[in-house]
Structure 1
Amino acid sequence: MVTTKPVVTLADARTTAGARRRRSGAGADGRTRGERAFSLVNGVILLGVVAVTLYPFLNILAQSFSSESAIRSGQVNLVPRGFNTTTYALVMQDSMFWTNYKNTVVYTVVATVIAIVLTTCYAYVLSKKRLRGRGLLIGIAVFTMFFNGGLIPNYVLISSLGLRNTLWAVVLPNAISVFNLLVMKAFFENLPEELEEAAQIDGLNTYGTLWYVVLPLSKAVLATMVLFYAVSFWNSWFQAFLYMDRSELFPVTVYLRNLIAGASTASSAGAGADVAQVAANIQSVTMVLTVLPILCVYPFVQRYFVSGVMLGSVKG
């Protein structure tokens, strides 16, 4: 006896699926009421976090373009009051500002390249469990997170090496961040060993394996480390303030720090209207000018940021 299977049409399938959604409380998008409520609450919370995070920056931006009287009377919120660009004009017309800005770019680029090279090589070595003395090398790195020689020994060391008033006084002392080192080490440990074994069979040595196999697979964590290092070196000012005494070698952060100190002193001494204006919003202008380049760079590496941190922080 021949039996025939019932023919299920597309309309029947849609009707069945709709009935299942209705029984489970799901809508047309396949989500239940609980899922939709969670998405709504999650969206509201995230919008609140964005607003709380964005408000201080917008307030600082508004103050940087506001008049001295409006700032001192507390009238500035999110919109500039008494639009004024005196401080911006004063800062940007100074040739020393642009010289120091160029110094900051050079210091940041050179320091970031050196830091990435050293951190990558060190982390790749530490990720090899067969390495003799691996525990000692990890211990040395972790030890420096909690203990250091102190300010005076560091100053004596930099001076005795002849690094004062040079690029290297800013670049070398902080060339490796132990936190970044441990993140990259964890990332390299999660890479499949079979890839490196296949590369060795193909004739690649350790350096070839690192360059042609490991690094192309590490773009996310490398981009994250570049961002971490670049922001750190860009905002750094104390190293230059300590080891440099020539103004043409200062980074822009030291220039702006000295400008703030000078404006505050002049304001307390009862100077003219322009100086009072500068003293009122110099900190806001300083923050805007300092953070603007990083804000321009961040969108290009943002897509690697979350994945890079997660891949380097979770051990498989």
Structure 2
Amino acid sequence: MFDKRMSNGEKVFTVFNYCLLIAISLICLLPYVTLFAKSVSDETYVISGQVSLWPKGFQFDAYKALISAIDFRTAFRNSIIVTIVGTLVQVFFTACVGYAISRKQLPGHKLINIMYVFTMMFNGGLVPTYLIIKETGLMNNLLVLIIPGMVSVFNLILIRNYFESLPSSLEESARIDGAGNLTVLFRIILPLSKPLLATIAIFSAVSIWNSYMDPLMYLTKKNVLVLPLFLQNVISAATQNGTDNSEVLAHIASETFRATAIFISSLPILLVYPFLQKYFVTGLTLGAVKQ
């Protein structure tokens, strides 16, 4: 923790930083600790406001009711599929487009850059987008959460800046040996970009997992239900008549059930993020500065 060359003032400052960061981390964890405490507490204690950070009347009835819900299993499976496939597709196509527009020899690369950046400031509008989705047959299809987001402009800017900062001698050496564009991209550029690709993957996964407006507008059937819609149904009082599971119907209005649903829904991202956090910090720095 301490370097022998550090002065007493630097040591005090280091201790202060550690204490401050630990305190901030604990504050960030409070909502999840509270959710977990409510999810395993008796409903009587939760309603009376006696549960804060420690559960009372320890039980797992809400978890059993949630797991037995057909709608929850469908929504959880669909969200997992859409997040994994959507993240892979978005990272792949964003990397391909980023490599193409980072090459100055590409005819019209400046115009293509401007066209992509333009979409960050202006979009086609809600009604035209809805009509396009409807006419292309993507209504009530999970692909509607994947295809329109195949290229993320924000991630594209990060990866383009990083590709432009790589030494051109690497690509020139490969081309002298007879490598083509695909070989250069997949054997040289992408292996050097793992931290940045991991960063983009995190951004994409969190965005797709938490997406609410798109599923709300384009997914209306139960077989394509995703977790954000399921949570909205659980939290809303109007959903008491919108479930086919009688056991869930008995719990759906309870604070315990809602806390359980929210906690389980946020758990996958929380479990994945710590393993990619080191790549996230490095990758964001790499892609944020153009050399």
Q: TM-score, normalised by structure 1?
A: 0.83
Give runs of aligned pairs for residues 278-289 of structure 1, distance below 5 A. 278-289=253-264
8 Å CA contact 1:263, 1:279 repeated in 2: no
Q: Deviations over 1:27-73 (max 9, x none)?
A: 98221122212211111211121121111221122122223332232
Q: Call closer, same or farther: CA 1:28–1:154 in 2, change over 3 Å.
A: closer
SS of the aligned residue for 1:221 comes to helix
Give the Cα–Cα distance (whole angstroms) in 2 for the partners of residues 157 and 126 of structure 1: 27
2:25 matched residue in structure 1: 50
SS for the counterpart of 1:210 is helix
SS for the counterpart of 2:150 is coil
1: distance between equivalents of 2:228 and 2:58? 25
Structure 1 stretches of 4+ with a deviation exceeding 6 A read none
1:32 matched to 2:32: no
Aligned residues: 284
In structure 1, what is the equivalent of residue 244 of structure 2? none
Change (3 A) 1:276 1:117: closer
Deviation track 1:122-142 (CA, whole Å, cap 9, x = no partner) reads 111221233332221111111
Q: Deviations over 1:216-239 (max 9, x none)?
A: 101111111111111111122332
- How much does 1:277 deviate? 7.3
1:209 aligned to which of 165, 180, 184:
184
Q: Does residue 1:261 correspond to 2:240, yes or no?
A: no
Which amino acid is 1:237 matched to? Y
Q: Distance in 2 between matches of 1:187 and 1:112?
A: 20
Query: What TM-score do the two structures reach when normalised by structure 2?
Result: 0.90
Q: 1:143 aligns with which of 109, 112, 118?
A: 118
Select 2:55's aligned residue among 67, 80, 89. 80
Partner secondary structure for residue 176 of structure 1: coil
Decide whether aligned partners of structure 1 residues 102 and 207 sit closer, same or farther in structure 2, where only a CA change above 3 A counts. Answer: same
Aligned to 1:198: 173
Change (3 A) 1:245 1:120: same
Provide the secondary structure at the position in 2 that maps to 1:173.
Answer: helix
Whichever of the two has the greater Rg, that structure is 1
Q: Return the alpha-carbon distance in structure 2 between the equivalents of residues 247 and 216 of structure 1.
A: 41
Map Cα deviations across residues 259-282 of structure 1 (whole Å, 9 max, x no partner). 32247768xxxxx9x846743233
Report if aligned partners of 1:237, 1:253 keep a CA contact under 8 Å in 2.
yes
> What residue ranges of structure 2 are gaps of 5+ in the alignment?
242-246
- Aligned-partner SS, 2:182: helix
Post-superposition Cα deviations, 1:106-163, rounded to whole Å, max 9, x if no partner, equal 1112211211111101111221233332221111111111211222211111111111
Change (3 A) 1:263 1:165: closer
Change (3 A) 1:239 1:277: closer
Q: Which runs of 5+ in 1 are unaligned?
A: 1-26, 267-271
1:79 to 1:129, Cα distance in 2 relative to 1, 3 A:
same
2:81 is aligned to 106
Instruction: Supply the distance in 1 between the matched residues of 2:55 and 2:252 (Cα, whole angstroms).
Output: 14
Equivalences for 1:236-251 in 2 at 5 Å? 236-251=211-226
Give the counterpart of 1:312 among 261, 280, 287. Answer: 287
SS class of match (1:288): helix
CA distance in 2, matches of 1:205, 1:277: 58
Distance across 1 between alignment mates of 2:67 and 2:186 = 43
Structure 2 Cα separation of the partners of residues 181 and 142 of structure 1 = 9
Root mean square deviation of aligned Cα = 2.2
Higher relative contact order (CA 8 A, sep 6+): 2
Percent identity between the two aligned chains = 37
